[in-house]
Amino acid sequence: MKSAEHAIKGNWASLLLPIEADDSIEFSKLGAEIDILIDAKVDGIYSNGTAGEFHNQTEEEFDRIQLMLAERCRKAGMPFVIGACQPDPTIMLNRVRRAATLGPAAIQVILPDWWPLTDEEAIDYLNRASGIANGIPLILYNPPHAKRVLSPKELGAILAETPGVIGVKLADGDSTWYAESREHLPGVALFVPGHHLATGIREGVAAGAFSNVACLSPRGAQRWTDLMQTDMDAAIETEQRICKFMDQHIVPFRQKSGYSNAALDKLLCAIGNWGPVGTRLRFPYRWIGEDEAQRLRAVAEQELTDIMI
């Protein structure tokens, strides 16, 4: 059983890449974004999730992004997690090695993704990554689009053999999923989708979220997360409005138009209009126009007044 005390919990804001018209990363804007997230007093900042476009950057860019995040967060006393995710196992292990030297609170990894791993292969891989991390704990990222999406029972069996993995970022489910998670994943820090965080905490399962709500508003997401500790009923009511907004105005861009999750998260950021990020993704991925962000900003300000701060 993992430790029931989660050092990494709450509302974690994603570091999004400001992409210029020539497909370059605008690092001055990235630095400004980090400073804004620090000033918002989120529980932590994480890099290189899906919305951080980890799958579409060079190793030199990877190193520069992580160093900038680490230096600014250490100076401010802000916890940070580095995503070393990469579908290629060799590249990912090398990212883990370099990330560990920067002293993050944890390192996020995925399972190698060209061919799905068996349980035994997953255990071997995670234990090797943990050894390379040199004492830095790992968080496994197992999203719905992974080649192999692990059930709570499967995760429990794998994590029982991988003591260096302290948490999992994953999609939640219905009441049966929550019951299975309580049974098979006791003490594991589970990070549910941001817009389901209140439900996850109420169910006694979630430690926090690497949050799409923080993409919309870092300050608003933090205030909502804090509310869960004092008035869960109010937090659930807020969650219902967030989910309605997502279902009606954000998810259709993926379901009907085929945009990626990263495109949706950058759209949320542009709707919130809190930092110099923009909606552009790196080639070959399509992004959603700024005009849609402007249109939906008015909707969000009306429907989510307590988040849009």
How far apart are the C-alpha atoms of 54 and 89, rounded to whole Å?
14
**Angstrom distance (rounded) from CA 177 to CA 34:** 35
> How does DSSP assign 118-136, residue by residue?
PHHHHHHHHHHHHHHHTT-
CA-atom Rg of the chain in angstroms: 18
Q: pLDDT per residue over 263-301, tens digit each? A: 999 999 999 999 999 999 999 999 999 999 999 999 999
Choosing from 2, 9, 29, 169, the catalytic residue is: 169
What is the spatial distance between Cα 43 and Cα 302, in angstroms, rounded to a whole number? 26
Catalytic annotation, pick one of 141, 178, 259, 266: 141
Q: Would you state the structure tokens that stand for residue 291, as one six-digit string?
A: 């005009």
With b for 16 or more beta-carbon neighbours within 10 A and e for fewer, the 66-92 pattern comes to bebbbebbeeeebbbbbbbbbeebeeb
Tell me if residue 141 is catalytic.
yes
Asked if CATH classification 3.30.950.10 holds for the domain at 10-230, the reply, yes or no, is no
* pLDDT tens digits, one per residue of 175-197: 999 999 999 999 999 999 999 99
Q: For position 5, what pLDDT does the model report?
A: 55
Contacting residues for 185 by C-beta, under 8 A, at least 6 apart: 152, 155, 156, 159, 168, 205
Q: What is the pTM of this model?
A: 0.96
**Three-class SS of 2-55:** CCCCCCCCEEEEECCCCECCCCCECHHHHHHHHHHHHHCCCCEEECCCHHHCHH
Query: By the 8 A CB rule, do 228 and 238 touch?
Result: no
Q: What is the mean pLDDT of residues 248-259?
A: 98
75 is catalytic: no
Does residue 241 register a pLDDT over 80?
yes
Residue type, 108: Q
pLDDT for 14: 98
**pLDDT(4) > 50:** no
Instruction: To the nearest 10°, report the CA torsion of 203, 206, 209, 214.
Output: 30
Count of all residues that appear for the chain in the document: 309
> Which residues sit opposite 53 in a β-bridge?
none
Calpha distance 201→240 (Å, rounded): 15
d(CA 88, CA 114): 8
Mean per-residue pLDDT over the chain, rounded: 97
pLDDT at 2: 52
CB burial of residue 305 (10 Å; 0-12, 13-18, 19+): exposed
DSSP character for 69?
H
Tokens standing for residue 91 = 């590249």
Residue 309 token pair: 């701060």
The confidence band for 1, taking pLDDT boundaries of 50, 70 and 90, is: very low
Query: Which two tokens mark 148?
Result: 């192999």
Phi, psi of 29 (to 5 degrees): -70, -35
Q: What is the mean pLDDT of residues 221-248?
A: 98
- In this structure, what token pair is assigned to residue 24? 């370059």
